[in-house]
């Protein structure tokens, strides 16, 4: 509808289309439900690329959504697919996430907005559908994505990652459980307070605050890398709130000597506030350090990392969190390995034989500290839920079912 007049256009104001975009995109816009997406700042631009055709921008605002030919402003998120894939997404309410997982639909820049757009245009009115929301807590606003009904499961991401790293887990477990993936404070779309300690007890308190904000008494936890360490701390500090835990390549206190410990006790992370970090320099370096950092899940993960790291507050949170992982006390009354013996929740550890960050050799130390823990070794690296999803999620389902 070229030149649609707001006074005569019969469609609701929160769905507006300009010119003549592909029918598949129009169908998505007509299904837009602003209640299913959390738009940071209230406004955003999602670019929709159709192979061999014109590109379109879905402009999200407090008033709704406006589809128009792609313009000059850089998009906050970008979705690209061929015409057939866009049509399959329009025809099948579940098609967007299925196409994304299969690699037929690519999402770049903000996964929060890209996947949120798919959720908001799915047209699904069923309870338990994919939903993005913010939860106000005493530690600040926490961003979540959730799906499913039933007993709650909370997924906790690793250092530099976001809730989007658990999209496959949400999809795998949502048919039986209510799955909630969180952006920890300092990461993703959650608040990034400068005064936060960004250590395991602080993050564990944030998880407890999230449960309070959602009215949940207790939940199962799944944590990857730093998120695994956070889940461990939550199990130690709040055993009444944690039922079972799946720890995927969890970050654990170093057992060897930490030679730079003296240096990292200073206020170095605050230098992130003034550190120059131009994207033109930072992005190529980061992508070169991450295998596959220019394509697929890895590229999307780098996008998520850069969105926070390229902001001063995001850099402070990243550096502070990394420092605290390094300084985590292994022994003594407050040491992780000492305290681990008192862990009450049933726990599954998933190790990657090709993990370069948390070597599988940590397993023998965990077995000595926590003889009741269960273990699974997989032929993967540091992110089992992305690299070996079928076996990882099968093991998690067994744990949650008490098998």
The whole-number pLDDT of residue 7 equals 40
Which tokens is 301 given? 């993960």
Kindly report the CATH class assigned to 15-120. Answer: alpha beta
The whole-number pLDDT of residue 197 equals 94
Residue with tokens 């720890």: 247
d(CA 35, CA 41): 15
CB of 317 within 8 A of CB of 186?
Answer: yes
Domain boundaries, the chain: 15-120, 131-400
Q: Which residues make Cβ contacts (< 8 Å) with residue 325, sequence separation at least 6?
A: 159, 226, 229, 251
Segment (H or E) for 237: helix 226-237
d(CA 314, CA 246): 27
Q: Which residues make Cβ contacts (< 8 Å) with residue 124, sequence separation at least 6?
A: 93, 94, 130
The whole-number pLDDT of residue 310 equals 78
The whole-number pLDDT of residue 2 equals 36
The whole-number pLDDT of residue 343 equals 94
Residues of the chain short of pLDDT 50, as ranges, are 1-11, 13, 262-264, 293
The whole-number pLDDT of residue 112 equals 92
Correct CATH for 131-400 of 3.30.1370.10, 3.40.50.300, 3.40.190.10, 3.40.50.1820: 3.40.50.1820
Sign of the CA dihedral with 188 first, then 190, 195, and 197 last = negative
Backbone φ/ψ region at 148: left (φ over 0), alpha (ψ -120 to 50), beta: left
Start-to-end CA span in the chain (Å): 57
Backbone angles phi, psi at 156, to 5 degrees: -125, 120
d(CA 352, CA 359): 7
pLDDT digits (tens, 9 = 90+) for 128-187: 888 999 999 999 999 999 999 999 999 999 998 999 999 999 999 999 999 999 999 999
The whole-number pLDDT of residue 57 equals 95
Sheet of 374-378, strand order: 131-137, 140-147, 178-182, 152-156, 219-224, 242-248, 346-352, 374-378
Q: Do domains 15-120 and 131-400 have the same CATH topology?
A: no
d(CA 12, CA 6): 10
CB of 186 within 8 A of CB of 163?
Answer: no
CB of 140 within 8 A of CB of 191?
Answer: yes
Backbone φ/ψ region at 135: left (φ over 0), alpha (ψ -120 to 50), beta: beta
The whole-number pLDDT of residue 19 equals 64
CB of 251 within 8 A of CB of 232?
Answer: no
pLDDT digits (tens, 9 = 90+) for 44-57: 999 999 987 889 99
User: Buried (b) or exposed (e) across 330-360, using 16+ Cβ within 10 A?
Assistant: eeeeeebbebbeebebbbbbbbbeebeebee
The whole-number pLDDT of residue 276 equals 55
* Bridge pairing between strands 346-352 and 374-378: parallel
The whole-number pLDDT of residue 133 equals 94
């Amino acid at each position: 509808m070229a030149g649609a007049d707001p006074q005569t256009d019969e469609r609701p104001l929160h769905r507006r289309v300009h010119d003549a975009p592909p029918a598949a995109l129009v169908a998505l816009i007509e299904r837009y439900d602003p209640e299913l997406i959390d738009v940071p700042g209230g406004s955003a631009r999602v670019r929709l690329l159709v192979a061999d055709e014109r590109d379109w921008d879905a402009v999200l605002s407090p008033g709704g959504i406006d589809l128009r030919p792609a313009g000059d402003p850089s998009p906050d998120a970008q979705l690209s697919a061929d015409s057939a894939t866009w049509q399959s997404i329009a025809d099948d309410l579940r098609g967007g996430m299925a196409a994304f997982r299969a690699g037929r639909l690519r999402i770049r820049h903000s996964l929060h907005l890209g996947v949120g757009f798919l959720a908001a245009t799915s047209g699904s009115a069923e309870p338990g559908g994919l939903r993005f929301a913010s939860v106000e807590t005493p530690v600040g606003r926490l961003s979540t994505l959730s799906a499913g009904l039933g007993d709650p499961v909370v997924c906790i991401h690793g250092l530099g990652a976001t809730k989007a790293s658990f999209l496959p887990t949400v999809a795998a477990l949502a048919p039986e459980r209510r799955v909630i993936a969180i952006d920890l404070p300092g990461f993703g779309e959650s608040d990034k307070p400068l005064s936060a300690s960004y250590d395991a007890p602080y993050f564990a308190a944030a998880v407890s605050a999230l449960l309070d904000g959602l009215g949940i008494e207790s939940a199962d936890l799944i944590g990857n890398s730093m998120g695994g360490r956070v889940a461990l701390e939550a199990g130690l500090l709040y055993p009444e709130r944690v039922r079972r835990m799946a720890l995927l390549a969890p970050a654990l206190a170093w057992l060897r000597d930490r030679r730079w410990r003296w240096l990292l006790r200073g206020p170095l992370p605050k230098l992130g506030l003034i550190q120059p970090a131009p994207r033109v320099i930072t992005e190529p370096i980061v992508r070169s350090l991450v295998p596959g950092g220019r394509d697929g899940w890895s590229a999307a993960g780098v996008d998520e990392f850069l969105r926070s790291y390229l902001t001063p507050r995001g850099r402070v949170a990243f550096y502070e969190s990394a420092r605290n992982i390094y300084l985590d006390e292994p022994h003594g009354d407050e040491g992780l390995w000492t305290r681990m013996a008192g862990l009450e929740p049933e726990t599954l550890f998933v190790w990657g034989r090709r993990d370069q960050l948390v070597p599988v050799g940590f397993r023998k130390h965990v077995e000595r500290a926590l003889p009741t823990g269960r273990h699974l070794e997989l032929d993967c690296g540091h992110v089992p839920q992305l690299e070996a999803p079928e076996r990882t999620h099968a093991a998690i389902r067994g744990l949650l079912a008490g098998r």
